[in-house]
Amino acid sequence: MAETSAKTPVVAEAHEVDTFHPPAKMLEKHPSKPHLSGLEEYQQLYKESITEPTKFWGRLARELLTWHKDFQTVSSGSLVGGDVAWFLEGELNASYNCVDRHAFKDPNRVAIIYEADEPTDGRTVTYGELLREVSRVAYVLRNMGVRKGDTVAIYMPMVPEALVALLACARIGAVHSVVFAGFSADSLRDRVIDGRSKVVITSDEGKRGGKLIGTKKIVDDALKQCPDVTGVLVFKRTGADIPMTKGRDVWWHEEVDKWPSYLAPEPMNSEDPLFLLYTSGSTGKPKGMMHTTGGYLLGAAATAKYVFDIHDGDRFFCGGDVGWITGHTYVVYAPLLLGVSTVVFEGTPAYPNFSRYWDIIDNHKVTQFYVAPTALRLLKRAGDQHVRNEMKHLRVLGSVGEPIAAEVWKWYFEVVGKEEAQIVDTYWQTETGSHVITPLAGVTPTKPGSASLPFFGVEPSIIDPVSGDEIPGNDVEGVLAFKQPWPSMARTVWGAHKRYMDTYLNVYKGYYFTGDGAGRDHEGFYWIRGRVDDVVNVSGHRLSTAEIEAALIEHNAIAEAAVVGVADELTGQTVNAFVAIKDGNEPSDALRKEFILQVRRSIGPFAAPKAVYIVPDLPKTRSGKIMRRILRKILAGEEDQLGDITTLSDPSVVEKIIAVVHEAR
């Protein structure tokens, strides 16, 4: 490539943004060369992926995945119909593609590098070992009555066995439904019931940042109200003394010993569900996004190859948790589909000290690192002295989950990457399955803060939210939608297809609506502005304000609640709650604490409000709609810019709320 000088500021008139080309040093330490020769080849392939998707995806599906039975129809259905399907007639198995085909070729290749919470406790798992363990657990699940098409809930810490659990489900055609192990018993219960899970896989305890988490206890609490769960498989992580329910709970280590080390994978239709993953939306009830087998796996494999420029022998480290989509796609499926080593990190970036990530990267010669900006902000603030490591194998540094500010981007590039690794700011969602707007490492020039250009097959549109019309051309702002289906898009909301249609496909007919605002600059680069719905992003966790409000209202002292997100330097946004209490209660610190505890208990600690304001009433229109905009303005200190408040049923409430907020500060 000609244009590979590390840092070529291209300052366009009126757009004072630096453009960074793939660093020359990254290419020097490359095992061979990037999969594409440069931006031109990307543009050619991109064009093909949009104008001849059948040809493009048909070729890639056969190149990157191993099919038990070849497909005939590359794609069918439409965004209007909400009946998108990929690779019909094709049959394949996810666990075969992630494990067997690599184990047969090279059983001693490392599949998993496990970094335990204590830096000294880790180990590695080879592809051969992974095949044996996945097979045995698959037998165990069958023995517990799990059949093809059944749902299995997984509530586990970040240990290799979590990956084994996912792959064992996939091996027998069961649908995994992972619930992030930070969720409360109530949240777990709701997801187990909604997904109709028969079996739950968990561990005795978890260990994170030196602290123990009573995982099994939370499962026990949740299952008190889940009569349909017939079995719980418990992995022994810490050896804690925990109660086992007779006839329901079995130990992982005892069960796996009973079974042979190979079970043939179940051939699945390409459109058979692979997993459910619950995510937050505008309403209180989380949505079980359903992903299917062939399309999802192809999205994972294709983005791994082109976005992260993965090559044989690479060691990939994604800091995401398997409880979220980032963990599903980029801790588990993407690296394993390409047969490289994936780091499974159980701990936190601050334990035992702020060098933890950098030590892991150095010790394991990590080639690609992928994390959320919230962690980077924390580590940047902790100080450069903690980044004492060379990390000389790093070629790609990924960012995900929220917008990355230019100064954090530059810190990542200069201090972590020593200007020798390319930053890829990857934009995607639980619903998209894999990256949709992202640079390709070694190929795409980047601008700090922009997710850059669309991935193959993704045709972005900027839509005017008022008229609903697409805004053509460059230098435009609006909401982001996609114009044609791509293989890894979620096919439905579990048990609620109408909700799927209404949330994503009926908002702008013929488009998939992301829920994010975005701009397209003068060079066609995309800038994600954040959610335009009632979703807040706290430390990269996606939360619904409606869900938090519903949790608060469960408290018997609360009459009404309104939750808003407020910008925060460290966590991106914080949750702030305004509550009106019922007669007979007096505002107090104790009560505020109780309300916070209520959210922790109902959803999980990560959703806890940072501040709770007890107010006499909420600002409501005459029709009873809460005007959160006013609350946001008050918290931002923009009381002089509240706009028209005469439509409120009681405009005097605004002064009272301002007084409460002032008093609290």
Please tell me whether residue 531 binds ligand 6R9 under the rule CB under 6 A.
Answer: yes
Please tell me whether residue 425 binds ligand 6R9 under the rule CB under 6 A.
Answer: yes
Closest distance of CB 266 from ligand 6R9, Å: 29
Number of residues that bind ligand 6R9 (CB under 6 A): 23
Closest distance of CB 349 from ligand 6R9, Å: 17
Phi, psi of 297 (to 5 degrees): -65, -35
- For residue 384, give every residue at least 6 positions away whose Cβ sits within 8 Å of its Cβ, in sequence order, or none: 415
Closest distance of CB 430 from ligand 6R9, Å: 3
Closest distance of CB 664 from ligand 6R9, Å: 29
Residue type, 207: K
* Of 166, 160, 162, nearest in space to 127 by CA: 160
Contact range with ligand 6R9 by CB under 6 A, out of 151-159, 323-331, 387-395, 634-642 = 323-331
Please tell me whether residue 516 binds ligand 6R9 under the rule CB under 6 A.
Answer: yes
Name the residue with tokens 């290419």: 27
Contact range with ligand 6R9 by CB under 6 A, out of 128-136, 305-313, 321-329, 631-639 = 321-329
Selected from 49, 215, 270, 426, the binder of ligand 6R9 by CB under 6 A is 426
Q: Based on C-alpha coordinates, what's the Rg of the chain?
A: 25
Closest distance of CB 481 from ligand 6R9, Å: 12
Query: How many H-runs (helices) and E-runs (strands) does the chain carry?
Result: 21, 30
Per-residue x/- track, 269-288, ligand 6R9 (CB under 6 A): ----------x---------
Strand 197-203 versus strand 151-155 pairing type: parallel
Contact range with ligand 6R9 by CB under 6 A, out of 457-465, 469-477, 512-520, 611-619 = 512-520
CB 303 within 8 Å of CB 443: no
Which residue lies nearer to ligand 6R9 by CB, 46 or 409? 409
Closest distance of CB 330 from ligand 6R9, Å: 9
Which two tokens mark 394?
Answer: 């790093």
SS3 573: strand
Selected from 339, 417, 439, 515, the binder of ligand 6R9 by CB under 6 A is 515
Provide the CA 59 distance to its chain's centre, in angstroms.
28
Please tell me whether residue 321 binds ligand 6R9 under the rule CB under 6 A.
Answer: no
Q: Which residues make beta-bridge pairs with 626?
A: 620
Per-residue CA distances from 417 to 316, 320, 414, 557 (Å): 15, 19, 6, 51
Selected from 325, 396, 424, 436, the binder of ligand 6R9 by CB under 6 A is 325
Which residue lies nearer to ligand 6R9 by CB, 331 or 615? 331
Please tell me whether residue 403 binds ligand 6R9 under the rule CB under 6 A.
Answer: yes
Which residue lies nearer to ligand 6R9 by CB, 140 or 400? 400
Please tell me whether residue 429 binds ligand 6R9 under the rule CB under 6 A.
Answer: yes
Closest distance of CB 168 from ligand 6R9, Å: 25
Which two tokens mark 556?
Answer: 């018997």
Strand segments (E) across 352-443:
368-371, 396-400, 422-426
Which residue lies nearer to ligand 6R9 by CB, 395 or 531? 531
Please tell me whether residue 528 binds ligand 6R9 under the rule CB under 6 A.
Answer: yes
Phi, psi of 641 (to 5 degrees): -120, 40
Which H/E stretch holds residue 599?
A: helix 589-602
- For residue 210, give every residue at least 6 positions away whose Cβ sits within 8 Å of its Cβ, in sequence order, or none: 117, 351, 352
Strand 268-269 versus strand 211-213 pairing type: unpaired
Selected from 400, 543, 612, 614, the binder of ligand 6R9 by CB under 6 A is 400
Strand segments (E) across 83-235:
85-88, 91-92, 110-115, 123-126, 151-155, 175-178, 197-203, 206-208, 211-213, 231-235
Closest distance of CB 50 from ligand 6R9, Å: 22
Please tell me whether residue 573 binds ligand 6R9 under the rule CB under 6 A.
Answer: no
Closest distance of CB 402 from ligand 6R9, Å: 5
Q: Which residues make beta-bridge pairs with 527?
A: 519
Give the residues lining the site for ligand 6R9 (CB under 6 A): 279, 324-326, 400-403, 425-430, 451, 514-516, 528, 530-531, 537, 542
